[in-house]
Each structure stands twice: as C-alpha cells, then as structure tokens.
C-alpha cells in the first residue's frame, strides 16, 4: 500500500479540508452554550463543562471508533452526577468520572457493544425522534421572558439556513447565520441574551491533576454507583449515536473501539478536571448532517476551536446572541426527527406493535429526560411483543394411526418459555392410545423451559402406563434435550 493511500482525505483534498474545518468551527460555537448549560445542571463552574468538552472531543477524535462523531459534556451525564457533586463536592465528581471511564473501557473489552444488535429499529427510530423533541424542548426555555428582538433574529437565522444552501454550499449555513446575526446585534446595539450571559469563559488551558479526595474504600463505595450509572448512560447514548451516524453516512464503525475510546476520553477528562461526557447527538447532527463532515479532523477541531474561541476570542464569542444558536439547534431538531416514521402512509403499513414500541420509547425519554431509560424500556417492550408473536406460531396437530395403537403429535414452531408453557394442554393423555410419538422435526427447542415441558408430558403419559417417543430433534435441540432431560426436577 502506498504512502499516498494512507493519507487521510483532508490532507489531499482542499474541499474536504474546508468542509471539516468549517464544520468544526460551527460545532465549537454550538458547544459553548451547551457546555455551560450542562455545567449548571451538574452544579459546577462553567469552565468545568467547557474543559470536559475540549478534552472529550480531542481525545475521542484520536481513540474513538466513529469518525465525525462529537463527544463532549452532555445533559444525560450531568443529570447522573449532579447529586454526587451536590452531596460530596467536586473532588468526588472528578473521581467518579475517572472510574466511569475505567468501567467503560472494561465494558468495551468485554464486548458490551455487541449488545447493540438487540436494539430493534423501532426503538432506534423512537430514540432519534425523542432526541429531536428533547433538543427542541431545551431551546424553548431560551425563548421565554426574552426581549421581543429575539424572535425576529430567530426567524432570520432559520431563513438563512433554509435558503442559503440553495444558493451556495461553500460555507456552512449555520456558520453564516451565527456570524450575520452577531454582526447585526453588535452593530445595531440590540440588547438580547448572549453567550456571555450563560457564564464566564475560561482564560487558560486546563492542567492535569489527581482528584482531591481521600483514596479509601469509603470513597470508592461513595462514587461507584454514580460512576457505574454514568458509564452505562454514556456508553448507551454514544453507541446509539454511532449507529445513527453509520446509517446517515452509509458506513460502518467499530463499536468496540468506540466503547473503549469513550472510556479513555472520560479518564483523560477526569484527570484534567472535567465533568465527563459522551457522544452528543445534537452537535453530531450539526457536524455530519448539516455541515457534511466525515472525518476525525472535524471532531478534533471542534474541541481545539472551543478552547481557542474561549481563551483568545472570549469577548467576541460572548457577544454571540443566543437566538443564533437556538436557530441552529432548531434546524438540528428538524433534520434529526424521522418525519417518515409518522407519515400516514407509514403508519398504515407498520405493525401496531412496532408503532407502540416507538411511541413508548419517545414517551419514556421525554418524561424521564433520560435517553437510556427510553431505550431500555422500548427494547424490553419490543422483546415482549416479539416473544408473544413468536409464541403464537407454535402449533400441535395429532394424527392417529389406522390401527388405533399409535398417535403422532406433530409440533411446529419455536419452543421457548412463552410457547412451551401452553404445550402441556394440547395432549389428550386419558384417551390417547398406549404409544405416543411427538414429532419435533418442524420445531426447535430453545431453552430449559421447553425441555421441562417435554418431561412433564412424558411423565403424564407414564402415569397412565403409556410410552412416549420424541423424535425429529435437530442437532442443537437434541443436545440441549439430552443434557437437561430428567435433570430439572420434573415429576
């Protein structure tokens, strides 16, 4: 393989370079108010959230598995660790972030990312739609009790982002919108809420250090529950976001590497005094779907630009009107929401169970403000619906030989706990002839419950002096039956 082929696209293609740099700049601008807001949720100084966004983005750009995905301080993580900071202080919070990173690395090594294949499409659609709704809801608060000038600025920003791409795509429309609205408000002296109103921006780079906590078993017991919850929530949100970007870009990413990368990024963030984080769906959509970024460069530059903007251009960034950033996030909401999923034609064709799972996922996320809760509840609901649907396909038909001495029961379908438990009532134990054959050539035995039910059936016939022959088992079913039959305490 030649050296040229090993070079990333942005080194050889000026257009890719321009796209990635501008995308990183737009994301950095959008990250500033978000990071400050999440810091407030966690109860820490705004600089803690900004440092976390910087170190997370820069680190994940190097060690992560999904190109162009943005990781930074997030609301989901802030909600998890806020009680720990409130009750025990910043030192314990930082220690929990480091421990959460270690847990995520361990989970990645153990292959937890592979569990993503068990999340159904209906849950994925519900996750995306719920995320769009939550992003929109967070922006609504920025439009309450504000000067009237905010509203025309918001409309102007939306119009710019809708119509500018039809004229040119050389510069990302969100960046043009932010620059234009900032210039207008500063030049005209319009008094509206700005980024600076959210909190003071840092004036220097973060420095590494150990968390200010006693290194004792008591400290570990205190932070462990919060660290474990943070690791789970962060990993789930990151893997779901990575899968979404896979679908958008029609590419595949290494979920195991992403899991380990998220852990490493949190460890680094903790040692630099950040509040930790995970993948950010809103900023990722700005980067991938709105700005068209596809490489690690945009992720790296988002973090780098964030610190440059805060430290070097702090006064200028502070003047950016919040209306401009709200407009960007509203566009992200509309771009993120899967409008096809609620189209009347789609709803008419979609099975009721699939629609129910999607709605349940959205409702759980919106009510709890926790994406992980919605995904877990939606996945469990989908599995229950699937189990109930598959259980209905198990059938039993009986054929008695002409001589009346043998009856053959043919069982078809998947035998597992949901379908096998009803199997015992499908046999005529009292009236059947002395020889009974159970033909399982069209069935598959999946679990111990099914083996136990077959044992029960044999026992019921044996109590009446009748013999049972089970035949037609495929190799996996036969191996499971031979291993468990007679060992389950049935009789």
Q: What is the pLDDT of residue 154?
A: 93
Q: What is the pLDDT of residue 3?
A: 45
Sign of CA dihedral 147, 152, 155, 159: negative
CB 423 within 8 A of CB 457: yes
Q: What is the pLDDT of residue 2?
A: 45
CB 262 within 8 A of CB 60: yes
Q: What is the pLDDT of residue 78?
A: 84
Sign of CA dihedral 335, 337, 340, 343: negative
Q: What is the pLDDT of residue 117?
A: 73
Q: What is the pLDDT of residue 8?
A: 63
Q: What is the pLDDT of residue 1?
A: 44
Residues (pLDDT < 70) of the chain are: 1-12, 488-491
Q: What is the pLDDT of residue 135?
A: 76
CB 71 within 8 A of CB 60: yes
Q: What is the pLDDT of residue 63?
A: 95
């Amino acid at each position: 393989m030649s050296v040229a082929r090993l070079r990333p696209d942005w080194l050889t293609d000026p257009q890719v370079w321009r796209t990635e740099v501008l995308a990183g700049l737009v994301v950095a601008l959008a990250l500033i108010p978000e990071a400050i807001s999440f810091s407030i949720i966690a109860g820490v100084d705004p600089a803690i959230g900004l440092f976390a966004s910087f170190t997370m983005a820069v680190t994940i750009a190097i060690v992560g598995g999904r190109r162009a995905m943005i990781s930074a301080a997030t609301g989901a993580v802030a909600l998890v660790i806020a009680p720990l900071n409130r009750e025990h202080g910043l030192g314990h919070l930082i220690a929990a972030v480091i421990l959460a990173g270690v847990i995520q690395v361990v989970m990645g090594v153990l292959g937890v990312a592979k569990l993503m294949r068990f999340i159904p499409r209906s849950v994925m659609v519900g996750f995306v739609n719920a995320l769009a709704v939550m992003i929109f809801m967070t922006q609504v608060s920025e439009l309450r009790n504000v000067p009237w000038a905010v509203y025309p600025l918001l409309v102007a920003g939306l119009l710019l982002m809708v119509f500018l791409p039809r004229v040119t795509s050389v510069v990302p429309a969100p960046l043009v919108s932010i620059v234009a609205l900032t210039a207008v408000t500063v030049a005209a002296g319009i008094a509206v809420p700005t980024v600076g109103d959210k909190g003071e921006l840092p004036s220097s780079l973060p420095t590494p250090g150990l968390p200010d906590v006693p290194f004792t078993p008591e400290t570990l017991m205190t932070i462990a529950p919060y660290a474990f919850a943070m690791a789970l929530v962060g990993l789930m949100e990151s893997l779901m976001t990575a899968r979404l970007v896979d679908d958008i870009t029609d590419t595949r990413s290494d979920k195991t590497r992403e899991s380990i990368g998220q852990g490493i990024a949190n460890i680094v963030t903790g040692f630099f005094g950040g509040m930790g984080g995970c993948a950010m769906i809103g900023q990722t959509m700005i980067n991938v779907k709105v700005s068209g970024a596809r490489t690690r460069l945009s992720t790296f530059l988002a973090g780098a630009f964030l610190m440059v903007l805060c430290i070097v251009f702090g006064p200028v960034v502070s003047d950016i009107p919040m209306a401009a950033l709200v407009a960007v996030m509203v566009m992200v909401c509309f771009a993120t929401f899967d409008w096809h999923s609620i189209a009347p034609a789609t709803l008419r064709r979609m099975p009721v169970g699939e629609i129910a799972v999607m709605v349940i996922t959205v409702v759980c996320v919106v009510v709890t403000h926790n994406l992980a809760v919605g995904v877990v509840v939606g996945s469990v609901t989908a599995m229950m619906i699937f189990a109930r649907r598959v259980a209905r396909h198990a059938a039993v038909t009986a054929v008695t030989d002409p001589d009346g001495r043998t009856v053959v029961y043919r069982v078809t379908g998947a035998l597992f706990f949901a379908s096998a438990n009803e199997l015992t009532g499908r046999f005529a134990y009292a009236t059947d002839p002395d020889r009974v054959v159970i033909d399982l050539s069209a069935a598959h035995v999946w679990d111990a419950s099914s083996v136990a039910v077959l044992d029960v059936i044999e026992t019921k016939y044996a109590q009446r002096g009748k013999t049972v022959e089970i035949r037609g088992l495929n190799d996996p079913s036969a191996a499971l039956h031979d291993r468990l039959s007679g060992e389950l305490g049935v009789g």
